[in-house]
Amino acid sequence: MASASHYDYLIVGQGLAGSLLAWRLLQQEKRVLVVDDGHATASSMVAAGLINPLAGMRFNHSPFVHEWLAAVEQTYGELAGMAGEPFLQWLDMVRLFRSSEQVRFYERQRARTETADLLGRRLDAEDFPQPVHAPWGGFEQKRTGWVRLPRLLAFMARWLEGKGALRRERLNHDDLVLRDDGIAWKDATARHLVFCDGYRSMHNPWFDWLPFAPDQGEILTLKRNANLPLPDRIINGATWLLPVDEGRFRLGATHYHDRQDNRATEEGKQKLLAGMETLLLHPDALELEKNEAGVRPATADRQPFIGSHPEFQQLHMFNGFGAHGSLTIPWYARRMVEWLSEGKELPKNANIQRYS
């Protein structure tokens, strides 16, 4: 008979990826232990949690976009029901054109029926409905919003703890022993080990062949300090601004590909504040509350890293969600569970087999 410290799955990392994967596995009555070092490097704790199905300069979309959105609605809704507090907030986005070329990209997307529910009307520069500078005009984007990630992670930590499924400590690779029937780590054994450890997986001795492309970012939290007009939608131009709770706004974000730490810098702050000056008609209405930084677990081909090690079948990866984890992790968590429990094929774009 299995001892109390024998698990089906040991999961490294309780960011959004590890939390949702653990939750889905526990729903299937698997024995799960999540190990997290107190979110020491969690990009989920810093992220704005924006849901933007048409990211990118050309407003392109993934073929999975509607499945992602359905999973977003269902997953965060289910979790809100469990927690008794909302995590997902739908809020329309106003997208600012940055060139006449982008107007053409918009018109092209607008002509497509499959994105009709995602694109709203075009907005003229002369009569712009938000207090922002919009020299090229813009358009409304639908089915956008944001997720209160720190609150979701705090709830998930309590819920996992209540099930005896969370240990708050760092897992060192040297302490792992690979066995024929799984792995051993300290006093625990497990049939499977899944790495959901964010960008730190790039230093993982079993998966160092995966081309991670970590993308450090800084983000500001601002507070309203004057009763001047400020946007009431998500504004997305060269800089984006998100109205959140209690008169606060998030402003982001920078991208540094040569940094791998969560230290916010004066340079990053000044860059973002300059972006705010260019964006808002009344930048003085906001004062800085805090600046933060984190490292997005991004990948060279901008697709997630999901799947099993080609040689050590007890080792798996559920990672690489880059700048869009809030939108994509709910759907990929289901695909990962189907792969682990039923051997159902993973989406090819995300399967790490593409590199092995």
Residue 134, interface with ligand FAD (CB under 6 A)? no
Residues 115, 172 contacting (CB under 8 angstroms): no
Residues 68, 321 contacting (CB under 8 angstroms): no
Q: Which of 54, 69, 156, 196 binds ligand FAD (CB under 6 A)?
A: 196
Residues 118, 53 contacting (CB under 8 angstroms): yes
Q: Which of 10, 26, 171, 350 binds ligand FAD (CB under 6 A)?
A: 171
Q: Which stretch binds ligand FAD (CB under 6 A): 73-81, 98-106, 174-182, 197-205?
A: 197-205
Of 29, 30, 27, 33, which is closest to residue 13 (Cα–Cα)?
A: 33
Tokens standing for 331?
């759907």
Of 47 and 134, which CB lies nearer to ligand FAD in the complex structure? Answer: 47
Q: Which of 95, 233, 296, 335 binds ligand FAD (CB under 6 A)?
A: 296
Total interface residues for ligand FAD by CB under 6 A: 42
Residue 50, interface with ligand FAD (CB under 6 A)? yes
Residue 53, interface with ligand FAD (CB under 6 A)? no
Residue showing tokens 């933060």? 292
Q: Which of 95, 197, 230, 237 binds ligand FAD (CB under 6 A)?
A: 197
Of 32 and 253, which CB lies nearer to ligand FAD in the complex structure? Answer: 253
Residue 214, interface with ligand FAD (CB under 6 A)? no
Residue 252, interface with ligand FAD (CB under 6 A)? yes
Alpha-carbon span 313 to 335, nearest angstrom: 17
Of 97 and 212, which CB lies nearer to ligand FAD in the complex structure? Answer: 212
Q: Which stretch binds ligand FAD (CB under 6 A): 23-31, 46-54, 106-114, 264-272?
A: 46-54
**Chain length of the chain:** 356
Alpha-carbon span 286 to 69, nearest angstrom: 32
**How do beta strands 32-36 and 166-168 pair?**
parallel
Of 171 and 286, which CB lies nearer to ligand FAD in the complex structure? Answer: 171
Gyration radius of the chain over CA positions: 21
Give residues with Cβ within 8 angstroms of 130, minimum separation 6: 94, 231, 232, 233, 235
CB count in 10 Å sphere of residue 66: 16
**How do beta strands 215-224 and 6-12 pair?**
unpaired
Question: Which 3 state secondary structure label does DSSP give 176?
Answer: strand
**Window 22-41: contact mask with ligand FAD (x via CB under 6 A):** -------------xxx-xxx
Q: Which of 53, 145, 217, 268 binds ligand FAD (CB under 6 A)?
A: 217
Cα angle 48, 49, 52 (rounded to 5 degrees) comes to 110
Cα angle 171, 324, 122 (rounded to 5 degrees) comes to 170
Of 41 and 141, which CB lies nearer to ligand FAD in the complex structure? Answer: 41
Positions 76 through 95 that interact with ligand FAD (CB under 6 A): none
Of 48 and 54, which CB lies nearer to ligand FAD in the complex structure? Answer: 48
Of 123 and 196, which CB lies nearer to ligand FAD in the complex structure? Answer: 196
Q: Which of 7, 10, 11, 13 binds ligand FAD (CB under 6 A)?
A: 13
Of 199, 197, 156, which is closest to residue 176 (Cα–Cα)?
A: 197
Residue 294 Cβ vs ligand FAD, minimum distance, rounded to whole Å: 3
The Cβ-side half-sphere exposure at 173, using a 13 Å CA radius, reads 12
Q: Which stretch binds ligand FAD (CB under 6 A): 6-14, 97-105, 177-185, 332-340?
A: 6-14
Q: Where are the alpha helices (DSSP H) in 11-98?
A: 16-27, 65-83
Q: Which of 25, 319, 336, 346 binds ligand FAD (CB under 6 A)?
A: 319
| Residues contributing to the site for ligand FAD (CB under 6 A) | 12-18, 35-37, 39-44, 46-50, 170-171, 196-198, 200, 217, 219, 252-253, 294, 296-297, 319, 321-327
